[in-house]
Structure 1
Amino acid sequence: MAGDLLNLTPPLVRRPEDLLLAGQSLSATLSPLDNSLAVFVTNASSSQPARRPPDEEQPIYFPGIDAVPSSERRLFITDTLVIFAAFQNLIKTSRTQDPEWIQSEQNLTVIRKLAIDYVNFIKECWIHASQPAPRPDGPLQFSGDHYRSLYTCFSLFVVLYLPEPGYEEAPVGEELMEWLNIHFIEPSTEEGDHLSSLKSPWEDETFWPYLTRATLRGLSKASVFFFKMLSGHPSEDLQHLAETTASIISSQPRLQNFAAERDFAYASRRWKDKVKGLRVEMDQVPEGDRDDDFDNWWDRLSDIVGILEGRGDIVQRVCEDLGADWKEVCAAWGVFVDPRLRRQDLPDVVDRVLDDMPSDPTNGEDMVHTALFAGKPVDALLHASRLDRWLSAHLADIMEPLSLITDDPRDEISSRDQYILAYAEYLHSDPALWRITVDYMYSCGDVGKERGDEVLIRVPLRLNDKSSASNGGDEGKIRAGNVVGVLKDVNQTCFDYRREAARRTVCRIAAQTLVREKDYGLAVSYCSSAEDWQGLGRVVDRVLDEYIISPAGFAQYASDIAPSLQNLNIHHPSAQGVFVHRLMFAVRYSNFQQLRVKQDLQNAASDLVAMFRDDVAPKSWWGIMLYDAVDLLQYRPSLLFSASGAAELLGKLEEIFVRSSQGSGSDYLDILTRTIPGGGHKAALDRLKTVRLALARYFARSAVLSV
């Protein structure tokens, strides 16, 4: 995908006008699971029927906005997350302890260390990706050259914007040259090996370019070595000048060898005086002695001496002749032209050099380098995002606390958060990376937290994966009562980031899934954890519905939810009573059914009356419960109900008949009606007449036995 363009292969439609003629158009919708799309053909207008046959097959494409990270890319993502998390922890801890935390030398040292950790890890990935094929983990998604680009950009950022504490005002030239020599090696080692094997290397056409490049790059050992080889040159003038030049190059002052910049500056001035002396000696060489049979050695040496003199025009011209770019000119400028060049002065040099040697606008890496050199971190982030969203996200994460990027207070989202969220959206292309995705999102203020919540509540819990359950996997353990696997991870993530609303939503989703699988006990526990009392009521209703299917099955399901009733009373004493009341009824009614199965009829009768007296039973279940009492009323030889208990049953029965005659039969008879095939309220009342008859006989037996 490039910009807003999706390339579908094969094309969904050949010509747009075909869709227009058919009265159709293209539509797309985002996937709730990741950042992929579903692209399909729909009618252009709901009021206008399509001209295509209704049974014609229309394909649906599922293109991804981003390519799913491959194995090597996923390793890169997961390992750099450790550094990102450490940086977030540092910022969080430091800001709570001291509002001026960024001014602390200790914190700046840690930030620099973490940035260097990024650099080192990118280097490892670059080396790994540069290994020759074949690769056991499959083809690379990103080439070794791509990781090399990340390596050069991040390391340059450290050099320019994260110097060692106390060295912010120190000259930067030598550090830039070191960075250049590490990442853009010139001259090559092979060239040096070739020239050193020659008896008269100056006869080779690459000799002087090699020696000039080595001097320009500050490679003093290589330069001195080849200058000493000129002791065998036929020109005595060159022999003498080469010996002097080698001595000057080997004695060039280096900032790292001085305790104070003032001493370095003094040594640099004295060293420049020696270079001036060398120039005087060169000018004394007669014009006719400045050539040998292969080249004008004097002009070649003059370029090198011009570099040592710090003449900017010569440095730039030599770089152009050698095929070098603007970066090499800027680095050499800080070493030879202005050895005291500071970071804040570097943009002026860059502007001057770029006028004659512009950067490559088609090369993302070069554009990032240009922006960093020019002191434009905002532009650097823009180019970095086009190179790799990982790079822009992690650079922005460090730039913000360093105040390298500033935002309008009226903006809803900061620049740093925009780049982090863009990277997180890329990660969202792989649903398996949801933990990492939300880690980045939750670091981005309210907007990021809301997006993270949306990701969390859509993580597939896989609770209905039968194969995993049968194999003893995480889903099987969840059904056994152990919160493990994805569900545990999601819950833990919610706790870690204090996303209580998201956690409750996830628990409600888990409860709904478990209800479909008839795991009512766990469903109730997740409803209570989410404090979803309406959901709890729906679960209980499903359990009660099991009675209509099989009273024996209902008893088992209800026993599974019994422990949840005690937990609710302990952990949620303020839970909404109407729903807990319904749960209490399901448990007690299940206990009543189990007593009947066990033939503990005396206790069963007592429980039945107690449920009425305690006002536990919903009115819609009175008819079922009264019909259950028929066998107990007809039991011989003893009476199972007391006179008051039987009277309680009679009172409930009469209320049903009276209220039904007044038009409220639905409140009392709907559940009983469902147990009668093809029956309505009249059939339900007819069935309850058997209860009335059983009560009449019971009262008659009671009167006879009492006499």
Structure 2
Amino acid sequence: MPVAENPNLVPPLFEHGKVDDFQSSGRTLATTFSPRDGSVAIFPTNNVDPQTLKGAYPEEQPIYFATEQRVPLAERRTFIVDTFVIFYAIQKIGVVEFEEQNANVFKEDERPDRIRKLCYDYINFARETWVYVTSEAVKKGEPTQFPADHYRILNSCLSLFTLLYAPGAGAEHFPVGEDLMEWLNTHYVEPSSEEGMQLSTQDKPWQDDTFWPYLTRATLRGLSKAPAFFLEKLPSNHPSPHLQRLSKHLTPLLTEHPRLQQFTAERDFAIASRRWKDKVKTLRVELDRVPEDARDDGFENWWDRLSDIVGILEGRAEVIKRVCEELGADWKEVTAVWGVFVDGRLRRSDLPDVVTDILDEMPSDPTDLEDAIQSSLLLGKPIQALSYAAQFDIWLAAHLADLMNNLGLLENETVDSDMSLRDYYVVGYAEYMRLDPSLWRLIVAYLCTCGPVGHEMADQVLMRVPLKLQAPKDSDAANEESARIRAGILDGVLKDVNTACFEHQREAVRRMVCRIASQTFLREKNYGLAISYCASAEDWPGLGRVVDCVLDEYITQGPTIFARMVQSIAPSLQALKSQSGSNISGVFIYRLMFAVHFAEFHQRRMNGELEDAASDIIEMFQKEIVPTSWWAVVLCDALELLQHNEAMLFTSEDTCLLMHQVEEIATRTAQGSGQDYLAVLARTIKNGDEKQAMQRIQIVRLALTRYYARCGVIGVGGKLAISTK
């Protein structure tokens, strides 16, 4: 990646005016990307052959780190984590439906209701974060990622999407006007309650410049109680008897305006609306009869103001548009008013045509992404809305795309042959979350819903999660971490990575992670865990390497330390033996069995359990688990038992078995294969070689011959505890 011609580095790399000195020193700036979090590192580096560098300039070469976006702060991180729970629940809907279909209990109309409920969960989280940033974060003085208005916009856009595209089973065929008006009043409050409170304290509120605009705006918004309250006060003290009379007729029309939720059938609502419209027409006739010279109260032309209110109730489009422009309302308000007063039976499917006409006269603000997203949704262009949402917040684009996909709005919409439109935005959101590597669990979960491309990206994330298996240094945590690892209590990152791999069926990655973990434990000489994770990864060559390292402990540290280190291996051996139908290679399992049995032999020998130790020697050879290269070592270690004077620890048959092993070593060595039989024994001898190793075998041969002779003199074929004193 090329570096900007004049990058701004803080603190500066060199003093002002020293650019030529830096360049002449043979150095330049280079960059590299982090595969883990997408950050970029900028650092000075050699631009010429190092041998031609002119001096050590600069003496200290700092590294500068930068990211395209800010790492999520507390409020943003909480929002990301909490909303993932909803995303995860949406992904599980398909699983639940499959199970219900198999049980023959699934109902087709339940899916929209399930999606709708989860949409409201998104809305609630956005609202809660908005409230938190507005109040609690300010009180605590906490820095926030985004201003409160950002979450307000998320809340309003999610609410509008839910209203239009996830209304619930069957509700998509209902009139939408009142729902739009409720959405408008919830997210764009007008008129304010403060205006109403101020007017209510006045004896002659109509003389206030805000009186008629307040009544008109409240009427537009369907807030009938507010204008009805002020109109009821007019008859008693307003100077115009005409207005006093007309207000008595207008007040019940405002309060009795039919609302869809008041009726159980749309037909009844339609009938009531027609009757109400007839009463409005009657009021219009009475209003028109007011003489021209009586339409002013000495302060304002009340008739024009009242005519506008009646025009709104009549549903006259030209009046509504003009009034909205005068009051500073935009196309959203006109759209909501249209569905309440102009066409009370307006369907969602009719909205694009209506909104198109409104936007022709009252266009949306192209620089306002909130306006762009909402207009696209109302125009029935969800894909265009996603594009604007991605510019505003990739979180919104990803979760809207997921919802749209589940609602069937993005069928056959692809970016290219490998990725759908839904996956494109979800992957983009996962890339954004990489700014905070601690969110890797969420990143993997999102990516694993995005087909083959997402799975491959998730694999890369999983393979780069720091397992933190090494114990910290120079701190109290070092001892705790080390003890935790050595106790096998791996409830940290390694366990989480394994769990994530199992959950998302990333078996190849899980095995690779287990191999990495086993190598770490091997370096720490925690052989029990190393073997356990080799087995989990089904890395049998790796298991062989661990066993070799274990056996090397005998050579380098001696039998005492060797026996102690192998104690942690026995449980792993039992676990491997219990795996029915496993693909464990016999070579590696036998080498592991040998290490464990050999350690047990030395442990019993050191504890004075000589008879059991002798049995271990014979059992290892009988089961043929002793590697050829270790025959000589085991036989030499048996020498102490052969020379024991207080008891006969071996039978004559046992002695013959051991003599047979000795003779094979001698024969093979004479034939030139001594390296295969004596190399390990030679390593146990200081500055030892094959000749010295063979000398020790000769000592064992002599001891066996004497022991066998003793068995013949005593005339026994089995083990007898006979004193020879």
Q: Tell me if the contact between 2:555 and 2:684 (Cα under 8 Å) persists in the aligned partners.
A: yes
Aligned to 2:362: 357
Match of 2:30 in 1: 26
Structure 2: runs of 5+ lacking an equivalent: 714-725
- Match of 2:142, SS? coil
* Mapped pair 1:348 → 2:353: yes
From 568, 572, 577, the equivalent of 1:569 is 577
Contact 2:532 2:572 in 1 (8 A): yes
1:178 counterpart residue number: 182
Give the superposition deviation at 1:203.
1.0
**Residue number among 580, 586, 601 corresponding to 2:589 in the alignment:** 580
Is the alpha carbon distance of 1:544 and 1:261 closer, same or farther for their aligned partners in structure 2, counting shifts above 3 Å? same
- Structural mapping, 1:49-448, within 5 Å: 53=56, 56-95=59-98, 97-98=100-101, 104-131=108-135, 134-136=138-140, 138-231=142-235, 232-408=237-413, 411-448=417-454
Deviates more, 1:282-291 or 1:37-46: 37-46
Change (3 A) 1:345 1:703: closer
Structure-2 change in CA distance of 1:26 and 1:338 (3 Å): same
Q: Is the CA contact 2:682–2:693 (under 8 Å) kept in the aligned structure 1?
A: no
Local SS of the residue matching 1:155: helix
Match of 2:499 in 1: 492
Q: Is the 8 A contact 1:397 1:416 kept in 2?
A: yes
> Which SS does the other structure have where 2:258 is aligned?
coil
| Residue type of the alignment partner of 1:274 | K
CA contact under 8 A between 1:630 and 1:691: conserved in structure 2? no
Q: Which of 523, 530, 533 is matched with 1:523 structurally?
A: 530
Instruction: Determine if contact 2:112/2:407 at 8 Å carries over to the other structure.
Output: no
Match of 2:627 in 1: 618
Moved more, 640-649 or 267-276: 640-649
Q: State the alpha-carbon separation in 2 of the partners of residues 282 and 58 from structure 1.
A: 84
Residues 72 and 140 of structure 1 are in contact (CA less than 8 Å); yes or no, is this contact kept in structure 2? yes
Q: Where do residues 673-688 of structure 1 align in structure 2 (5 Å cutoff)?
A: 674-675=683-684, 679=687, 683-688=688-693
* 1:250-283 Cα deviation digits (max 9, x unpaired): 2322222233323323333333333333333333
Greater CA deviation, 132-141 or 108-117? 132-141
Note the 1:37-52 alignment, pairs <5 A.
Answer: 37-43=40-46
Residues in 1 aligned to 2:9 and 2:174: alpha-carbon distance in whole angstroms: 54
For these two proteins, the number of residue pairs brought into alignment is 695
Deviation by residue 1:524-545 (Cα, 9 ceiling, x = unmatched): 1222122221121111112112
Distance 1:656 1:564 in 2: 35
Partner SS, residue 171 of structure 2 = coil
Residues in 2 aligned to 1:650 and 1:102: alpha-carbon distance in whole angstroms: 75
CA positional deviation for 1:95: 4.1
Give per-residue Cα distances to partners, 1:454-489, cap 9 Å, x unaligned.
33343333333366877767x745532445343333
Asked if structure 2 preserves the Cα contact closer than 8 Å seen for 1:646 and 1:695, the reply is: no
| Counterpart pick for 2:551 among 531, 544, 548 | 544
Shift in alpha-carbon separation, 1:676–1:693, aligned structure 2, 3 A: closer
CA distance in 1, matches of 2:195, 2:338: 25
- Using the alignment, how far apart are the partners of 1:102 and 1:365 within structure 2? 38
Once the two structures are aligned, what percentage of the paired residues are identical? 51
Residues 471/199 of structure 1: CA separation in 2 closer, same or farther (3 Å cut): farther
Deviations 1:313-357 (A, max 9, x none): 221221111111111111111112222221111111222222232
1:630/1:223 Cα in 2 relative to 1: closer, same or farther (>3 Å)?
A: same
What is the identity, as a one-letter code, of the residue corresponding to 2:570?
A
Distance 1:115 1:674, change over 3 A: same
Distance 2:591 2:174 in 1: 76
> Match for 2:86: what amino acid?
I
Does the 8 Å contact 2:238/2:244 carry over to 1? yes
Equivalent of 1:591, from 578, 591, 600? Answer: 600
Question: Is the contact made by 1:596 and 1:604 (CA closer than 8 Å) also made in structure 2?
Answer: yes
Deviation at 1:43, TM superposition (A): 4.7
SS in structure 2 at match of 1:399: helix
Cα deviation per residue 1:183-216 (whole Å; 9 max; x = unaligned)?
A: 1000111111111111111111111111111111
* Partner SS state of residue 223, structure 1: helix
In structure 2, the CA distance between the partners of 1:12 and 1:279, relative to structure 1 (3 Å rule), is farther
Alpha-carbon distance between aligned partners in 1 of 2:8 and 2:424, rounded to the nearest angstrom: 26
Residue type of the alignment partner of 1:92: V
- Secondary structure of 2:172 counterpart: coil
Q: In structure 2, how many angstroms separate the alpha carbons of the residues matched to 1:102 and 1:329?
A: 41
Structure 1: gaps (5+ residues): none
Q: Secondary structure of 2:538's match?
A: coil
Query: CA separation in 2, counterparts of 1:600 and 1:164?
Result: 78
Q: Separation in 2 of the partners of 1:251 and 1:646?
A: 109
SS across alignment from 1:62: strand
Give, in whole Å, the separation in 1 of the partners of 2:134 and 2:692. 83
Tell me by how many angstroms 1:223 deviates.
Answer: 1.3
Residues 1:295 and 1:44: Cα distance change in structure 2 (over 3 Å): farther
Task: Give the Å deviation of 1:374.
Answer: 1.1
* Preserved contact between residue 533 and residue 575 of structure 1 (Cα < 8 Å): yes
Instruction: Answer yes or no: is the 8 Å Cα contact 1:558–1:586 preserved in 2.
Output: yes
Residues 272 and 45 (structure 1 numbering): CA distance in 2 closer, same or farther, change over 3 Å?
Answer: farther
**Pairing partner for 1:480 from 475, 487, 498:** 487
CA contact (8 A) 1:95 1:101 kept: no
Letter of the structure 2 residue corresponding to residue 372 of structure 1 = L
Q: Using the alignment, how far apart are the partners of 2:100 and 2:541 within structure 1?
A: 44
Aligned-partner Cα distance in 1 for 2:96–2:708: 82
Q: Which residue of 1 aligns with 2:659?
A: 647
What secondary structure sits across from 1:560 in the alignment?
coil
Structure 1 residues 537, 49: closer, same or farther in 2, change over 3 A?
A: farther
